[in-house]
Structure 1
Amino acid sequence: MWKHITSTFLSLMVVILAVASGVILLAQNRYKAPGPLTQAMCLRVESGTNMRKVSEELAKRGAVSSDTLFRMGANYSDKSHKLKAGSFLVPEGASMADIVDIVTRGGASSCGTEIVYRIGVTRTQIKVRELDPATNKYIDTVAFVPADGETPADYTQAREQGDARYRIALAEGVTTWQIVEALKAADFLNGEIAEMPPEGMLAPDSYEVRQGDMRVSVLERMQAAQQAILDEAWAGRDEDLPIKTKEEALTLASLIEKETGVAEERPQVASVFVNRLRKGIKLQTDPAVIYGITKGQGILGRGLRQSELRRETPYNTYVIEGLPPGPIANPGRAAIEAAVHPDETDYIFFVADGTGGHAFARTLKEHNENVARWRKIEAERGNN
């Protein structure tokens, strides 16, 4: 009899274990299976919250089919205590396992508010943007110029939330002085800037930073990026260029950058400067003369005077031979590439054509005709 009872008990235990194993397996499969979310969403995890509140919010918004199973999976994978504060992008169809990983992985917020600090040639602007999870595109909520003295409430609120992401965007053609002064005014950065980086050696680009980052470290990143771009471009440069060093290539690139805002024109503008250097013709580029006057500290805000065009200074390319002594701004990658890979043309001149671009010429006669057309356009605009 006891033998029969023991056998029955063991059989029952086997069944129970089999059922339990099956339930666990089903739960694991459900935990790792694609979730019910039909459209990507932004999940904000407040500082000090817990996995229960997060799971309930996910269930409420239709991202998980069971908040209980979500918590059990987080506990089983030993991630419940690793919950991070921030705003996280939860993609369409994300499994519970995926979401647990997203909210416990750490790092910068992947959605929500982004503050863009744009350092431009004429002004510095701040934009507050929100990511639309459905399109994965940012929508501007407010844009303002700090120098105007007004700070919108949206910006203050975004700063106070604590999980906003920060991005510093450098426009092509800004000077080092403009960058340094703008970083000094950036209230989300820390530290002093004791030394001005070399002109031209800060790469125009978009840099993600964290609140409290040191200003010097941001500048070091910009300088390292520009050095890498310059090194790569110089290593692959065209043969027989009339420039002998990377520094000269950077100087030439800065002239190209300041002469045209039309990307397609950069290699043509480069060809004009290269042809002039080869022929020993003065470069005669106004931006270099302006830099000699302003030292890169802001914009001139007026036209050049004849006396300034005649005065001999290191940057007056109407008077000096060859390149100025150094860059006049921070050129972007495309301008640097144009400097080492100029178009092959016979162009010696260029002048504005009234469309934002330039008219190029091989002879002085052609150039004078282009200048006459430009003067006519200027006169017509002045009368309107």
Structure 2
Amino acid sequence: MIRALVVGLGLLLLAFFLVTNSWWGDGPIEEETVVVVEEGTSIAGLGQQLANDGQIAMSPDRWRLLARVLGGSDPIRTGEFAIPAAASPADILDIVQHATPVQRMVTIPEGLPSVLVQEKLQAAPHLVGEAPLPPEGSVLPDTYSYQRGETREAVLARMTAAMDEALKELWPTRSKTSVVTTPQEAVTLASVVEKETAKADERPMVAGVLSNRVRLGMKLGADATTIYPITKGRPLGRMIRKSELADPNPYNTRAIAGLPAGPITNPGVDALKAVLAPAETDALYYVADGSGGHVFAKTLAEHNENAARWRALRKKRGK
């Protein structure tokens, strides 16, 4: 009788060890991998998925039973989860219950036109669906996180919502030196500033010059606005033709006074701040200085001298 009890107890202990070892012991995964949990996946469905992918060494039915008994009652989450090598079934369940899903990133640089925003979003891996073409100036340049399986439309919606929020926050900061009268005008002028200088510390000064020109009814004279109707923001790849410079289309600030008909790119926060609070300056002109920045002038005579120096420098550099 005692011997039978001892044997029975031993078998129970052995069974308990085998069960717990299969649940908490090392799993068959030899290197880090991922588990993608779709919306609506059940414990049973996850077990079938893990077994099919060789990420657990037990049947789906056994997984379901042990998960119910030993895994707690917390729900599993949707998303993509990183699973380390040798992760046990218990580890995997804990990860999909409590870990933060893998976040992927897509970066929209300042001054990227909408046609290239669309291309960048279309090329982002592990998103689904087609990337819509956003209206020019509607996307706030930034780095955005996303999860595997999200739609490109949903990610774009966050980008446009971020621009709406930025404008809502920045518009009340508009100073008396600003010439824009609506948030949309702010985006339009900021898009020109974005294309006119790549130096962040120059943006308020460039915005000041362009604001002076708008205030006086002068032409902005920005080549990027001439190019925009031709390429929609893509590089032109050649010199601008005289006929294009003279074309009085509503974007061409070489031919018409005032702001272009709309944004020519997606401006960042710094460019928006610059047009809402431009530098107080008497300058009306600027030209490249050869170091990546610009030299500014109050009069056309000063500007012509600066431009002559720039042409001489280009010639010296063989351009």
Post-superposition shift, 1:181?
2.7
Rounded Cα–Cα distance in structure 2 between residues aligned with 1:101 and 1:203:
37
Summarize the alignment of residues 93-112 of structure 1 with structure 2, pairs less than 5 Å apart. Answer: 105-109=98-102
Unaligned runs of 5+ residues in structure 1 are 1-42, 51-74, 89-99, 110-164
Q: Which amino acid aligns with 2:126?
A: F
8 Å CA contact 1:79, 1:104 repeated in 2: no
- Give a deviation string over 1:111-151, Cα, whole Å, max 9, x none: xxxxxxxxxxxxxxxxxxxxxxxxxxxxxxxxxxxxxxxxx
2:149 matched residue in structure 1? 212
1:272 matched residue in structure 2? 209
What secondary structure is seen at the aligned counterpart in 1 of 2:228?
A: helix
Rounded Cα–Cα distance in structure 1 between residues aligned with 2:34 and 2:263:
47
Change (3 A) 1:320 1:209: same
Summarize the alignment of residues 163-202 of structure 1 with structure 2, pairs less than 5 Å apart. Answer: 165-193=103-131, 196-202=133-139
**77, 82, 87: which one aligns with 1:86:** 82
What secondary structure is seen at the aligned counterpart in 2 of 1:368?
A: helix
1:232 matched residue in structure 2? 169
Post-superposition shift, 1:85?
4.3
Residues matched between the structures, number: 249
What secondary structure is seen at the aligned counterpart in 2 of 1:359?
A: strand
Over aligned residue pairs, what C-alpha RMSD do you find? 2.8
8 Å CA contact 1:281, 1:321 repeated in 2: yes
Post-superposition shift, 1:342?
0.4
Post-superposition shift, 1:381?
1.5
Q: Which has the higher contact order (CA 8 A, sep 6+)?
A: 2
Normalized per residue, the structure richer in strand is 1
Post-superposition shift, 1:177?
1.4
Identity %: 45
What secondary structure is seen at the aligned counterpart in 2 of 1:325?
A: coil
Rounded Cα–Cα distance in structure 1 between residues aligned with 2:282 and 2:135:
33
Change (3 A) 1:371 1:196: same
1:330 matched residue in structure 2? 266
Rounded Cα–Cα distance in structure 2 between residues aligned with 1:244 and 1:81:
51
1:95 matched residue in structure 2? none
Post-superposition shift, 1:321?
1.5
Q: Normalization by structure 2: what TM-score?
A: 0.71
What secondary structure is seen at the aligned counterpart in 1 of 2:317?
A: helix
Summarize the alignment of residues 344-359 of structure 1 with structure 2, pairs less than 5 Å apart. Answer: 344-359=280-295
What secondary structure is seen at the aligned counterpart in 1 of 2:238?
A: coil
**217, 228, 248: which one aligns with 1:291:** 228
1:144 matched residue in structure 2? none
Rounded Cα–Cα distance in structure 1 between residues aligned with 2:246 and 2:256:
10
Post-superposition shift, 1:187?
4.2
Unaligned runs of 5+ residues in structure 2 are 1-30, 36-49, 57-68, 85-92
**255, 272, 276: which one aligns with 1:319:** 255
Q: Which amino acid aligns with 2:246?
A: R
Deviates more, 1:317-326 or 1:178-187: 178-187
8 Å CA contact 2:177, 2:277 repeated in 1: no
